[in-house]
Structure 1
Amino acid sequence: MKMTHVFPTYQRFPFAIESGQGVHLTDDQGQTYLDFTAGIGVCNFGYQNAAIQTAVHQQLTKIWHTSNLYENALQEQVATLLTNGDERLVYFANSGTEANEAALKLARKYTGKTAILAFNHSFHGRTYGAMSMTGNPSIQAGYAPLVAGVQFADYNDPAAIQQITPRLAAVILEVVQGEGGVFAGQAEWLRAVNQACQQQGVLLIIDEVQSGIGRTGYRLAYEGYGLDPDIYTVAKGLANGLPVGAMVGKAKLAMAFGPGSHGSTFAGNALAMAAAQAVLQQLTPAFLQTVQHKAQSVWQVLTDEIAPLAIVKQVTGKGLMIGIHLAPQVPVAKVIAALQHQQLLTLSAGDNTLRLLPPLVMSTADLLAGLAKIKTVLLALETEVTA
């Protein structure tokens, strides 16, 4: 099928995904794949998860949508689960981009300041505010003028700490940069950023859109570093595929986000909330421990068998958020295509990186089987480029 009535904003593979079961997907040609993408970090609980399906089906028989002009018990229940007992408040949105846009607006409104410090190779979304905070010129190309007041520093660079001064409204960062190449923050540096923000009266915004909801083995990646953000944002995995995002901020920020200050018609949609509640109820400490244990097995193989390959520059990431950085002579698109022929779906990221975001419910056996296919394909390409 050739798509002729849709804007060509995506580089699409020549097949359509028609169904999914567990951690496997089947296309329109009857081919079944092991999924190392989770819909770009969205379907963390796989496909046809019984608890999520039941919750959405039950809500479907009640009401699909009601405006935010009324009290909403389901939103309150999800917000309570999401904040996990912290004294924080939630603003629901429809995507990670919208959540980051809300964070930018809140930071400026609360502080009365406009300057924002973001980081090179970051990705925060494609609306004007979120895109202006994204450290990737190719994403910004053709859309000038961007939102003013955003400056950039190098990620994990100690010199960036010196740019955190009282003139800033906020610093925004990803604990693990996803689209930019799956680069994990160094613990000491992240804590220094957090401390500098607190000392200088600057808000710290952590973008957990891709790294949150268990992806690194913690509910939110920042928890693994002992950070204390003023605002964090989540989306992708929050409702396992139904459109939702959330901005979560400290209670003190409520004074700047009163009635009429921000809003969205579809935000906090009943079906998305039902799915999000079912996701968060399954995101237990015991479940997160299993993710950490599986990640240990995965990283053992990555370290011992994948990283030493001649065409691999380095392996980066945290938990089940993985980047295999390839040598320039091996285009990542070629690797992805070869893996598709081996019935394994994978992703790309910046720096010619093979990105892996498998569903968190995938078994250790399936995870290792997928890595074995990756090793086989990389070895074949290694032989090809060195012949």
Structure 2
Amino acid sequence: AISGIGVSNFGHQEPTIHDRLRKQLDAHLHTMVYGEMVQSVQQRAGALLLDTMPSALDCVYFVNSGAEAVDAALKLAKRTTGRSRLLAVQGGYHGNTHGALSVSSNESRKSAYRPLLPDVEFLGWNDPKDVSRIDDTVACIIVETVQGDAGIRIPDASWLQALRRRCDEVGALLVLDEIQCGMGRTGTPWAFLQFDVVPDMVCMGKALGGGMPVGALVASKQAMSQFAQNPSLGHITTFGGHPLVCAGVEGALTCMNALDWAVVE
């Protein structure tokens, strides 16, 4: 039903994806904690993914779900800026982990788990008047490029561009959540490509794995390097970048790259 909640963008039993999975099953499964050993399938999946990104977004970190990617983005925003204040928008939904739920606005999902993260505030969706609330105390603002849980709401390009300009002015980071709207679902590989905006980070999941459980955070190498030290292994996951999952990513991206975007509606 409904593509497995945004997962099966390329259908079920897709031959290209299944071929990659079978080959990886015959090769090996888990070997070591992600990041401690270079594995070719991770490199191939990462290279295919970064080929779909603007050049400024040149580093990917694979995790186990879209919500984990959001949590990683919030951590990295705080670490990179040295700030603690987080902004999100009304109607936004980013997942059900502690951090992702904190920046989601649906109170019926949140009330049983309060208190959640402190220093979180919500701007009006697509509201240019609220853009000025982004100031030099803000670590990041996280926005679904196209809202899903709130009812497939497409923002004005001028609003997303205003968020980008304001973040640049005050040194805040713009995080776009493409977990549901990405992977070709809007007629381009990533929805933000239609809005003439380049974010500082992109969160991904769902269809990225071709049916396998995956999430990914894409940012610049400079930003992502903050996870490398002080503390070392500042963001680590046992099963993130699992070779079988990355084979699914490789298959899904191969399918997406084969699409004729001129005829995709």
Q: TM-score, normalised by structure 2?
A: 0.94
1:286 CA displacement: 4.2
Query: Is 1:98 aligned with 2:68?
Result: yes
Query: Is 1:232 aligned with 2:202?
Result: yes
Counterparts of 2:260 and 2:96 in 1: how far apart (Å)?
Answer: 32
C-alpha root-mean-square deviation of aligned residues, in Å? 1.3
**Correspondence for 1:142:** 112
**Correspondence for 1:262:** 235
8 Å Cα contact 2:87/2:141 also seen in 1: yes
1:108-187 matched pairs, under 5 angstroms = 108-187=78-157
- Spell out, residue by residue over 1:268-288, the C-alpha distance to the aligned partner (whole angstroms, 9 max, x if none): 111110111011122127433
- Spell out, residue by residue over 1:75-95, the C-alpha distance to the aligned partner (whole angstroms, 9 max, x if none): 121111111172421111010
Q: How many residue pairs get matched? A: 257
- Spell out, residue by residue over 1:102-155, the C-alpha distance to the aligned partner (whole angstroms, 9 max, x if none): 000000011110101101110011111110000110110111111001100110
State which of 169, 174, 177 in structure 2 corresponds to 1:207. 177
**Correspondence for 2:4:** 39
8 Å Cα contact 2:213/2:245 also seen in 1: yes
8 Å Cα contact 1:175/1:206 also seen in 2: yes
**Correspondence for 2:27:** 62
8 Å Cα contact 1:110/1:255 also seen in 2: no
Amino acid at match of 1:267: G
**Correspondence for 2:163:** 193
Query: Is 1:79 aligned with 2:49?
Result: no
Listed as ranges, the gaps of 5+ residues in structure 1 are 1-34, 296-387
Q: TM-score, normalised by structure 1?
A: 0.65
Relative contact order (alpha carbons < 8 A, sep ≥ 6): 1 or 2 greater? Answer: 2
**Higher deviation after alignment, 259-268 or 97-106:** 259-268
8 Å Cα contact 2:210/2:251 also seen in 1: no
**Matched residue of 2:262: which SS?**
helix
8 Å Cα contact 2:128/2:159 also seen in 1: yes
Query: Is 1:244 aligned with 2:214?
Result: yes
- Spell out, residue by residue over 1:37-83, the C-alpha distance to the aligned partner (whole angstroms, 9 max, x if none): 00011000001111101110111111121222211221121111111
Counterparts of 2:93 and 2:44 in 1: how far apart (Å)?
Answer: 30
Structure 2 CA distance for partners of 1:70 and 1:118, relative to 1, 3 Å = same
**Matched residue of 1:290: which SS?**
coil
- Spell out, residue by residue over 1:290-321, the C-alpha distance to the aligned partner (whole angstroms, 9 max, x if none): 32xxx3xxxxxxxxxxxxxxxxxxxxxxxxxx
Runs of 4+ in 1 over 6 A off after TM superposition: none
8 Å Cα contact 1:41/1:236 also seen in 2: yes
What percent of counterpart residues are identical?
Answer: 37
Higher strand share: 1
Query: Is 1:276 aligned with 2:249?
Result: yes
**Correspondence for 2:190:** 220
Counterparts of 2:107 and 2:241 in 1: how far apart (Å)?
Answer: 32
Amino acid at match of 2:249: A
